[in-house]
Amino acid sequence: MNVLKPHLRISIQTLLDRGTTQREIERFTGVDRKTIRRYQRFSNSPGVATGSEAADGQIPPPRPPAAEGATAAEAPRVTPSTCEPHRAWIEMQVGLGRNAVSIYQDLVEAHGFTHAYNSVKRFVSRLKARAPERFDVLEFPPGEEAQVDYGQGALTLYRPGKYRRPYLFVMTLKFSGKSFRKVVWKTSQEIWARLHEEAFRAFGGCPQYAVLDNLKEGVIRPDLYAPEFNPVYATMLSHYGVVADPCRVRDPNRKGTVENAIQHTQSTALKGRKFDSIEAQNTWLAHWEERWAALRIHGRKKRQVLEMYREEQPHLRALPLQGFGYFKQATRTVDDAGLVQVEGSYYAALPAAPHSEVTVRIFERAIEILEATGQLLRRHPKSERKGSFAIEQADRIFNPSRESARLLAKAERIGPHTAALAREMFARLGRPGQRAIYGLANLARHYPCADIEAVCARLIDAQCFSYAALKHALERKAATALANAQAPNLTQSGSHIRALTEYQSFWEEHSQTHPQEDSDGNVYH
């Protein structure tokens, strides 16, 4: 038995006599529970002195193990928990998610519990203990799935005297366990996509699915049912015919194959190493994969990784003939002219409505404009200087060629002579001739088409191709017609007109019966 100072032995014995638990004695005195347990057995042994009378170096005989078939009295005694009478109530509270402190407080206040809090804490911890989690073994046919993730590479010289750990990208084919590894200094949406493309070309084909976690380079908005992917990454996978399959949030076990590959790379290929450049580390990783990792025997499948990879490679999808064109994506608002501004240049976005938002993809040598649904609206060559406009003549609101064709067609509807005069004016006068065609086409609003045709025929015969002459001729013709229409057409007789003799007789008779007097007082008839 450990030799304790007398005051500690007395304190332990006193607390034991009071029925204090061994855990409480350990907390009060700082003595290990094993030592306290030995003192308790020593004090209970018959024929052995206790307290200060006991010899300091005396050790009780060891307790022999219980033999098979031993009675309950001979078996080691297990002290029941003081919380056992309240088991049903405590289990219900644990099921509600309550902690041990709140359960202890309610036990004291509502159930008259008089024991220590540690008893409740131990009892609750045993109730919350769960069985070890079980995991399934996921099996996939050749060429169906690849898993990707980032880890940390080995220390690499970043600048003179300064070492850093770069990002370690690993893609592992699920069936064979063949991996592609590369370290990079920084990561972005485009770098993440380019690393996938390099891995596909290193494998000589593409899997059907790429399993990844919800890092921002791949998944913009995690969602179990409808995740939103980074557009560059999603378009690149579509180019290669691969479907992204992100894991649940905080569920890395779904891609345990690549997690193990990263751990294997870090602990075996890179552990304890330093590199003078990131290129040197990538060269070492490629050599290690070819010399050691691919030739190893897979721990679970008991087959060589390279052999399984040769079996899997024919099942990978064929690579496209052209690589993926990378782009930057942004949102722009269409201005009043139907244009969007990209890097200081302007590009037509029709048929998008003014003030609407469109998606712009900026390639190395081209600009693509898409509507909100992803449908391509326009594709333009990328301008080489700022301030330039990429808009076709047909897209302009006022197009001189298109407007001239419209006006000539309008003159054609008036008549052939009018159309001939309009064409001749446009050919002879140029841009001012277009103004004259506007006036000619609008004359049909005020004058009959037949009159316009007649005057145009006379002007063509006279080789006079003037809008002013045409208008003056129509005005004179209209004035003459109006004057003829307003002149009175009087007649001297008719069924509704009385004869002049009747008016003459009426005035003679009236003058005789009603004499008139002038201003001088003279009377006349």
Phi, psi dihedrals of residue 297, rounded to the nearest 5°: -90, 125
Q: Report whether pLDDT(524) > 70.
A: no
Phi, psi dihedrals of residue 303, rounded to the nearest 5°: -135, 160
Predicted confidence at residue 407, as pLDDT, reads 84
**Same domain as 152, residue 112:** no
Of 128, 162, 187, which residue constitutes the final position of a domain? 128
Q: Report whether pLDDT(64) > 60.
A: no
Predicted confidence at residue 240, as pLDDT, reads 96
**Same domain as 250, residue 122:** no
Half-sphere exposure of 440 (CA within 13 A, CB side): 37
Predicted confidence at residue 48, as pLDDT, reads 42
Phi-psi region of 307 (alpha: psi -120 to 50; beta: other; left: phi over 0): alpha
Predicted confidence at residue 280, as pLDDT, reads 97
Which whole number is the average pLDDT over 404-423? 88
3-state secondary structure of 333: strand
Give the residues across from 112 on adjacent strands. Answer: none
Q: Is 509 or 244 the better-scoring residue by pLDDT?
A: 244
Q: Report whether pLDDT(452) > 80.
A: yes
Residue numbers of the domain that contains 435: 403-484
At residue 400 the predicted structure's pLDDT band, cuts being 50, 70 and 90, is: low
Q: Report whether pLDDT(427) > 50.
A: yes
Which whole number is the average pLDDT over 291-317? 95
pTM > 0.75: yes or no: no
Q: For the chain, what is the radius of gyration of the CA atoms?
A: 52
For tokens 């908005």, the residue is 221
* Lowest-pLDDT choice from 259-273, 311-325, 400-414, 451-465: 400-414
Q: Is 510 or 73 the better-scoring residue by pLDDT?
A: 510
Residue 503 lies in a domain: no
pLDDT digits (tens, 9 = 90+) for 131-176: 677 777 888 999 999 999 999 999 999 999 999 999 999 999 999 9
Of 70, 101, 128, which residue constitutes the final position of a domain? 128
Which two three-digit tokens encode residue 209? 């699915």
**Same domain as 450, residue 305:** no
Q: Residue 336 carries which DSSP code?
A: T
- Looking at every residue in the chain, the average pLDDT score rounds to 85
Q: Is 292 or 509 the better-scoring residue by pLDDT?
A: 292
Residue 388 lies in a domain: yes
* Lowest-pLDDT choice from 65-79, 86-100, 202-216: 65-79
Residue 382 lies in a domain: yes
Phi-psi region of 179 (alpha: psi -120 to 50; beta: other; left: phi over 0): beta
Residue 136 lies in a domain: no
CA torsion, ordered 119, 123, 126, 128, to nearest 10 deg: -120
Residue 321 lies in a domain: no
Amino acid at 362: I
Residue 134 lies in a domain: no
**Same domain as 185, residue 305:** yes
Predicted confidence at residue 47, as pLDDT, reads 44
Predicted confidence at residue 429, as pLDDT, reads 78
CA–CA separation, 15 and 305 (whole Å)? 65
Predicted confidence at residue 398, as pLDDT, reads 60
At residue 78 the predicted structure's pLDDT band, cuts being 50, 70 and 90, is: low
Predicted confidence at residue 294, as pLDDT, reads 96
Q: Residue 353 carries which DSSP code?
A: P
CA–CA separation, 90 and 99 (whole Å)? 10
**Same domain as 378, residue 281:** no
CA–CA separation, 204 and 159 (whole Å)? 35
**Same domain as 160, residue 289:** yes
Predicted confidence at residue 53, as pLDDT, reads 42
The percent of residues in the chain predicted with pLDDT above 70, rounded, is 86
**Same domain as 303, residue 259:** yes
Predicted confidence at residue 28, as pLDDT, reads 80
**Same domain as 333, residue 298:** no
**Same domain as 44, residue 11:** yes
The percent of residues in the chain predicted with pLDDT above 90, rounded, is 52
Which whole number is the average pLDDT over 288-294? 96
pLDDT digits (tens, 9 = 90+) for 79-132: 789 999 999 999 999 988 899 999 999 999 999 999 999 999 999 998 888 767
Residue 334 lies in a domain: yes
Which whole number is the average pLDDT over 460-466? 88
Which whole number is the average pLDDT over 378-404? 80
**Same domain as 283, residue 159:** yes
Number of domains the chain is built from: 5
Residues 333/356, Cβ–Cβ less than 8 Å: yes
**Same domain as 29, residue 169:** no
**Same domain as 290, residue 155:** yes
Which whole number is the average pLDDT over 186-192? 95
Which whole number is the average pLDDT over 352-373? 92
Phi-psi region of 38 (alpha: psi -120 to 50; beta: other; left: phi over 0): alpha
- CB-based contacts of 125: which residues, under 8 Å, 6+ apart? 100
Predicted confidence at residue 167, as pLDDT, reads 97
Q: Report whether pLDDT(177) > 90.
A: yes
Residue 225 lies in a domain: yes
Predicted confidence at residue 477, as pLDDT, reads 85
For the range 334-341, what are the long-range contacts, defined as Cβ-Cβ under 8 Å and sequence gap of 24 or more?
A: 334/358, 337/391, 337/397, 338/391, 338/395, 339/389, 339/391, 340/369
At residue 55 the predicted structure's pLDDT band, cuts being 50, 70 and 90, is: very low
Q: Report whether pLDDT(334) > 60.
A: yes
